[in-house]
Structure formats: C-alpha cells, structure tokens
Amino acid sequence: MKIRTLEQLRALEHELRAARDRKPCVRVCGGTGCRARGSEDVFGRFRVVLENEGLADAVEVKFTGCHGLCERGPLVSLAPHGIFYQSVEAGDVPAIVTETLARGVVIERLLAQDPITGKRVRQEQEIPFYRRQQRIVLRFNGVIDPTDIREYIALGGYRALGDVLTHKTPEEVIEIIERSGLRGRGGAGFPTGRKWRLARAAPGSIKYVICNGDEGDPGAFMDRSLLEGNPHSVIEGMIIGAYAVGATRGIIYVREEYPLAVRTLQIALAQAREYGFLGEAIFDSAFSFDIEIVRGAGAFVAGEETALIAAVEGRVSEPRQRPPYPVQRGVWGHPTVINNVETWANVPIILERGPEWFARLGTATSKGTKIFSLVGKVANTGLVEIPMGMTLRELVEEIGGGALPQREIKAVQIGGPSGGCLPKALFDLPIDYESLTEAGAMMGSGGLIVMDDRTCMVDVARYFMDFLRDESCGKCLPCREGTQRMYELLTAMCEGRATDADLDVLEELAQVVKETSLCGLGQTAPNPVLTTLRYFRSEYEAHIRQKRCPAGVCKALIRYVINAERCTGCVACVQPCPQHAISGQLKQPHVIDPERCIKCGICYEVCQFGAVEIV
C-alpha cells in the first residue's frame, strides 16, 4: 500500500501500535556478536517451543538488531515485562517459555548481576552498562524487527518525513538542522546544516545524497549495528536530506564485509518503495527520490569523501585535491552531500522532537549523543550511546565496568587509525570534538579501544602504521612512503634494533606526513605515533635503551619462563607446545627450553595457575 497523506500514515501507525501492544513479545538479539554466539538457534528454538506449547499465536518472537551488551550474548528481552536475560542458550528456551512467559516466574540464573552488590537485576535499565547511556539514535535497536517496515512505522517512523514534505520548505529543514547544532558523526565533525546549505546553493539540476557506510576503522561497528538494527532511520534521514538540498538520487555505500547490512538494506529499500516513501511524488508532493546500494570492495581510504566518490563511479578509490568540495562537484560532477550513517540517523529525531530539544543534549559545541563501540581490554564490551560531554572515565569505568580481572587500564585509543591514544591521566576529559582534537586524538567515527598494562604502546603504533601503509592508496608520496618508513622504524624498535636517533627520525617523519599529505587520512595517519610518543615516551625509551618491552608484548624482547612455585606439574602445557620445548614430570615443576621456544604463548594461554610468566 502507498501512503499518500500524513493522515493515512497516522491511521496506520495507530493500527499497528494497537496490534503490537496486544501481545507479549520475545526479542532475540540478531546483532553480529549474538549471532556468533548462537542467537539464530535461540530464535529458532523459541518458535518451535511456542508452537509446541500452543502459544504461537499468543506470543510474538522477533529477531532484532544489536541490543548492545555483546559481551553477555545471546541477549533476550521480554516485553512488556521488561525482563532482560543474558547468555541465553537454545537449551534455556523451554524454561523461559514455560516459566517466565506462561507463569511469570523469573529465571534468576539468566539475569544480569550487579558487579558491586552481587544482586541479580531484572531490567535492562538496572544494569550499570545501560544505566548511564542515553539511547536516542539506538532507541529502536533491539526493539524492532529491522526487516519489517511496519515495526518502524508503529513507533512513529516516517512521521518526520511526512511532516517535512507536507508542512516545511527545504529552507526550513536546513535551518532546523543548523539550529540543532548537529555535526558529522563520521570523524571530522563538520556542521551538517552548513554542508546541506552549500549543496542546496550549488548550481545544478541533478544532485546526490550519499550515506557513507564504509566504516573502515578497525575496532568499530556502530554503523553496521545501525544499518542492521534500524535501517529505516537512516533511509528516512536521507530522504529528508535529499528534499532539503534538492537531490533526486541517493546512494548508500556499504562495505561488502557487512553482508547482513547489505541484505537488511535491500529489504528496507524495497519496503520503503512499496509504502511510497521512495519513488515518485512522495506524500503526494512534487518531490521524487530513490536510493541505490553500492557495495564497497574493501578499502580504508574509501571512507574519505573524494575517494568514496571515485569508488562509487567504479574506479580505484583514490582521493583528489579539495576544493572543489563534493557539495560543489561530487558524483559524476554533480553537487553531492556525503554524510555518515549515524549522522543520517540523527536527522528524523531532530525534526520530530525539534532542534531545541537536540541542542540541549551534549556540550556547547558538540550537541546530541555519540555511539561508540567499546572494545578491547575492558569488562563490558559492546555498543554504547552516550551524551556528548561525558568523560572518558565514566564511559570506561562505569559503562565499560573497568579493567579485566587483575589488569590495569592505561589508555584508550579513540578515532581509529586517524585518532590517538589517550592516557589514563586524561580520563577526565569530556568527550566532545574540540577536547579530543586538542589532546591529539579525534572523535572519529566511534571506535573506542581500551588498553591495559599488557598492551605495548610501541606495538600499537606499529600496528596502526602497518594498517596504514597497507591501506595507503599510494597517490601521494608523503603518505605512501612515510607510513612505510615509520612502520620500519617502529618494527626496529619492537625488535630491539633501534637507536635514539631513530626516535628523532620517527618524530620528524610523523610531522612531515601530517603537514604534507594530500587527503585527510594521510594528514592524520601519524596521530597514533604522535600521541603514543607524547604520552608514552618512556615505553619507547625502554625498547630502545634497555631493549625491554614493559608490557611484555614484543616477542623479540621477552621470554616465557615457568614459576616453579606456582607450577603444579599438571602437564597441561607440555603437549600443546608446538616445539616440544617444555619438559617435566607429572606433579613436578616444568621447565621451558629457551633454545627451542618460539614464544608462541600457548603455554601462557593454557596454564590455569598463572605459572607461566613473561619476563
């Protein structure tokens, strides 16, 4: 059915919501993390068990997008009870159906436990991981079935679009976005409203809007989770943006590494066409617009907007000099607005709740919320959304639950390969565009990787340089050769072959690459080196002067030994050793032969008594 008026949309919304509220609902998380842990089986099992119990018509089961707390998956939430079960296995399903759904009895062992009080908590909001979050862009993630547009409509979806097309001029829409203070969520934080205004003013009858879903930063999965969990919020934002700038064509550029996101988007676009939100004369207005998907073939540099345009045009993804900016000359030479997935998803909410409401969230210069993928050496890994201005400490300690057992957090890496490592001493820094840039990092798209005392900062810098030299498109010399040389210098440091002079060269080279590279990616490529040098210089010096890796990571500088006092002689490490380097009888302390040892670390991995030590 095609929706032509706001009244029709409202009527449908009421009808769908009423139907929705009538039944209890089981929401099984279908995010990547939970899927990898078997949530598809859990979902399938629910269907079978409900059928067998004769409850198939009385209870609804949905496979939703990411709930966020990936660490404890598979996650299952029950509405309207609000009960939140974690680490659910297919074997738990019969109990959930016969106990909780049929008789209202809560299964204690599947509830989350408060780490401080040890008390079991029932509701999502009682879990510390969720308590401090403000889920606005992610509000429907984990609630709706992303493959059914009616789910989105039932919760008010496409209402903002209907209102825009029937009551607002493009100028008014741009003004609202400007007043909201929304800035690009892809990394650099350019004001979205200003970008739209420039594109609207650019001459040309054909204009494009593009959703940048390349998400090439390692350690980031925000865009993926949004596209997989609530694709219509992104699509609705793009249609509104297209109307504002006068575009008739839209492109969603999404990585091929995200096949589920591609599939979900294909379904969502087809449904949006069916309901008339895409196509000719949307909401019976004079505005027509459609969106196509372009699958990225895997190139980090494609996240840069001019490189992305090259990829969309079917060429090798190399950036070009700006200006002209894409808002002036973009795809096929036409004015083009490129915004990130999360930026687009913010648009419908701003129009629905008003720019003043949005501008009240966050800080003076950074409005709204930001989604982060909180990963690495932290207790609660997952997808989080916080108001701008929250401190790193609150994010890492309270939401993330702090360090892993017996470890100590020493830094976070924020902003991906273009970002930087910030030490614990700066954890009171508020998360906003300016503060992070000033500290040498950047907001980036939302990857936040926690590092602890077992993370070597020289190795981290080397890792990023390895990534960047591989992903550098090779067009400009400073980035192509500079990242390679920095990688070689860092490798020499990790292997204990470097001198103090190398450190000076590294520092100088980093400055040169920063100042002379062609595109934003090259200019920010030295950030991982510069920030680790700035905040963790002593670790570099230990590698160079004492030939020592304080974190015990760099293979050439460490040895594995067995602590005879702790070793119980269980022989668990003897057989897995690929070098047969461990000798020792049952119940006698074992010994590693350093001549044979290749430092693979399997013994360290398998020892349950902490007897294998790194020195």
| Closest alpha carbon to 483 in 460, 462, 500, 498 | 462
**Of the listed pieces 158-166, 266-274, 458-466, 492-500, which binds another protein according to CB under 8 A?**
458-466
**Of the listed pieces 49-57, 115-123, 312-320, 516-524, which binds another protein according to CB under 8 A?**
312-320
8 A C-beta contact, residue 290 and residue 278: yes
**Closer by beta carbon to another protein, 35 or else 195:** 35
Residue 446 contacts another protein per CB under 8 A: no
Per CB under 8 A, the list member of 311, 519, 529, 574 interacting with another protein is 311
**Closer by beta carbon to another protein, 60 or else 71:** 71
Subset of 143-202 contacting another protein (CB under 8 A) = none
**Closer by beta carbon to another protein, 202 or else 449:** 449
Subset of 396-435 contacting another protein (CB under 8 A) = 413, 416
**Closer by beta carbon to another protein, 81 or else 407:** 407
**Closer by beta carbon to another protein, 272 or else 299:** 299
Give Rg (Cα) of the chain: 26
Per CB under 8 A, the list member of 6, 27, 33, 531 interacting with another protein is 33
Subset of 510-529 contacting another protein (CB under 8 A) = none
Subset of 553-592 contacting another protein (CB under 8 A) = 576, 578
Residue 294 contacts another protein per CB under 8 A: yes
Residue 447 contacts another protein per CB under 8 A: yes
Cα separation of 393 and 535, whole Å? 17
**Closer by beta carbon to another protein, 72 or else 200:** 72
The 3-state secondary structure of 365-421 reads CCECEEEEEEEECCCCCEEEEEECCCEHHHHHHHHCCCCCCCCCEEEEEECHHHCEE
Could you tell me the smallest distance in angstroms from the CB atom of residue 316 to another protein? 5
Q: Give the end-to-end CA distance of the chain in Å, rounded to a whole number.
A: 69
8 A C-beta contact, residue 350 and residue 182: yes
Q: Is the dihedral of CA 143, 34, 453, 437 positive or negative?
A: negative
**Closer by beta carbon to another protein, 218 or else 354:** 218
8 A C-beta contact, residue 584 and residue 594: no
Per CB under 8 A, the list member of 449, 493, 518, 607 interacting with another protein is 449
Could you tell me the smallest distance in angstroms from the CB atom of residue 283 to another protein? 31
Residue 100 contacts another protein per CB under 8 A: no
Could you tell me the smallest distance in angstroms from the CB atom of residue 576 to another protein? 6
8 A C-beta contact, residue 97 and residue 55: yes
The 3-state secondary structure of 279-343 reads ECCHHHCCCCEEEEEEEECCCHHHHCHHHHHHHHCCCCCCCCCCCCCCCCCCHHHCCEEEEEHHH
Subset of 203-232 contacting another protein (CB under 8 A) = 215-221, 224
The first and second tokens of residue 586, run together, are: 């049952």
Residue 300 contacts another protein per CB under 8 A: yes
The first and second tokens of residue 107, run together, are: 């299964």
Residue 457 contacts another protein per CB under 8 A: no
Could you tell me the smallest distance in angstroms from the CB atom of residue 159 to another protein? 30
| Closest alpha carbon to 132 in 380, 332, 346 | 380
- Backbone conformation region of residue 607, classed left if phi is above 0, alpha if psi is from -120 to 50, else beta: beta
**Closer by beta carbon to another protein, 99 or else 257:** 257
* Amino acid residing at 370: K
- Backbone conformation region of residue 183, classed left if phi is above 0, alpha if psi is from -120 to 50, else beta: beta
8 A C-beta contact, residue 26 and residue 74: no
The first and second tokens of residue 124, run together, are: 């999502």
Cα separation of 358 and 137, whole Å? 12
**Of the listed pieces 14-22, 321-329, 537-545, 602-610, which binds another protein according to CB under 8 A?**
602-610
**Closer by beta carbon to another protein, 33 or else 584:** 33
CA 19 to chain centre: 33
Subset of 326-385 contacting another protein (CB under 8 A) = 373, 375-377, 381-383
**Closer by beta carbon to another protein, 54 or else 578:** 578
| Closest alpha carbon to 378 in 351, 396, 354 | 396
Could you tell me the smallest distance in angstroms from the CB atom of residue 486 to another protein? 17
Residue 602 contacts another protein per CB under 8 A: yes
Query: Which residue is associated with the tokens 């839209």?
Result: 250
Q: Residues touching another protein: how many (CB under 8 A)?
A: 57
Residues that bind another protein (CB under 8 A): 32-33, 35-37, 70-71, 215-221, 224, 256-258, 294-295, 297-300, 311, 313-317, 373, 375-377, 381-383, 413, 416, 447, 449, 451, 455, 460, 463-464, 467, 470-471, 473, 576, 578, 600-602, 605-606
